[in-house]
Chain A
Amino acid sequence: MNALFQYISTVFKGVGTLLTGMKITGKYVFTPWNNVTQQYPENRDTLKMFDRFRGEVIMTHNENNEHLCTGCGICEINCPNGSIEIISKMELTEEGKKKRAIDQHIYHLGMCTLCNLCIKACPTGAIVMGQNFEHAVWDRSKLTKVLNQPGSKIAQGVKE
């Protein structure tokens, strides 16, 4: 008799736990306004990444097309993957002295692990992390970027 009682209680307890589970899923199926899906390409306008989001390395330019990069190459040394190549050139300053300046700041996005070490190491704050994350391109060569804009020069007063 005891065994029979146990058998029946097993059945009822089992069914009870199953119903508890169904209650949880049922709660969500009947409240579809709580859905968490984001419709990605449609919500591009409202989708805003966090300020610190690490999407790509960019070099900031002001309205006079001036940047802060001195071409010192510290970012290149700090990069673990060799994603940054600095090609510098010698320029004559107004006083007639020779001074190093950036010719091309080459950035290989395809190799970058977005570790933030270059930005942390940059002494002048010339490079920062951009929030763009849509990097898909049809051709791998497009992932190699020159960060300083053509014709740009270093802003006044920035020293190594």
Chain B
Amino acid sequence: MGFNIYDFSGMTHNMHLWFLERMSPTATTIVEWTIIGVSYMLFVALFGLFLVYAERKVCAAFQQRLGPMRVGYWGLLQTIADFIKLLMKELIMPKSADKFLYNLAPFIVMIATFLAMAVLPFAKGLQTLDFDIGIFYVTAVSSVGVIGILIAGWSSNNKYSLIGAMRSGAQILSYELSVSLSLVTIIILAGSMQLSVVVESQRDAWFIFKGHIPALIAFVIFLIAGTAETNRGPFDLAEAESELTAGFHTEYSGIKFAFFFLAEYINMFIVAAMATTVFLGGWMPLHFGSFESFNVVMDFIPPLVWFFMKVLGVIFLIMWFKWTFPRLRVDQILTLEWKYLLPINLINILLMSLVVLTKFHL
């Protein structure tokens, strides 16, 4: 089992062979599924907790505070303590709630995030599913989460929850359009929807540099729409703490609340990962055309590190938005989408097509 930090495809292939030698193909499939499932769950739990910690620290830094400092060194164990607390809390259900849907909603939200994560290429060869319609798949499954939010708001039988859920529905359905269209811009440039191909074709230069201004515009639009799709500030209308107390998850407590909370952070990771993969070269190192020595040094950094560095950078940017801007009103959020982002996006696609047709990007 050769372990190569720069290319995981050999390792996964060898593992597959190793299993096949010892058991039947069916058993191999089941074992591999289990391994993948467990590692995804571990990743979601650990990275989700890390993101919550990071958010609290980053937010504190924006506000000239220190953030959690008591539990563990610099508060590192704070989120784990919070998680344990949430696990032990009583699960309260409103008497008049729709029991089945109320219990189902957190799982739908969670499942949607897991589905979207399946195609993300973490590093070379470290990708569970490599569809030829990868980008299409991500945009499709990431909107499943809104069903969970709608169900949560409706079944809690709370007026605040219902308003929050309806806002979220309107918001995500509209912004889905912008996310897809900004991705379409890059699909035109890449010529493929397969994520591994998209990453591979950014070997010489990332698409954000390669695609000139249209790619930059698409990146900005993707960031805005992606933030909106994860229900984060300044688009956190579904929660809107100062208006709707907690919006769609007002009535949830304990671990069910934690599911919504974790899903929000993992969704943020997915948006950042998609932005990284499609615009910022995925796990590809930063290369400047002719600086050979610089490129060699950059190549030395493992792809996994590159990927997470970029993802965390984008996440920091999204947090920066949240901790700077006021929240939009519900009609303004739709105005922004239909009056500004959508027309700009359509023109942008035209521009990108021109760039590709004239082979300006090569």
Contact = CB atoms under 8 A, between A and B. Distances in A.
A36 B62 CA distance: 12
Interface string A20-58: 011011101100101111010000000000000000000
Interface stretch (B114-122, B196-204, B261-269, B317-325): B317-325
Interface string B315-340: 00000110111000000000000001
Interface in B299-326: 320-321, 323-325
Contacts of A36: 64-65
A29 B61 contact: yes
Main secondary structure of the interface of A (DSSP, over half): helix
Nearest to B61: A29
B216 interface: no
Range, interface on chain A: 10 to 19
B324 A22 contact: yes
B111 interface: no
B325 A18 contact: yes
B323 A25 contact: yes
Contacts of B84: none
Range, interface on chain B: 10 to 19
Contact of A39 (B63, B66, B320): B66
Contacts of B325: 18, 21
A39 B65 CA distance: 10
B64 A35 contact: yes
A22 B319 CA distance: 11
A11 B321 CA distance: 17
B320 A11 contact: no
A26 B64 CA distance: 11
Contact of B340 (A11, A22, A24): A11
A39 B69 contact: yes
Contacts of B321: 22
Interface of A: 11, 18, 21-22, 24-26, 28-29, 32, 34-37, 39
6 contacts: A11-B340, A22-B324, A28-B64, A29-B58, A35-B66, A39-B69
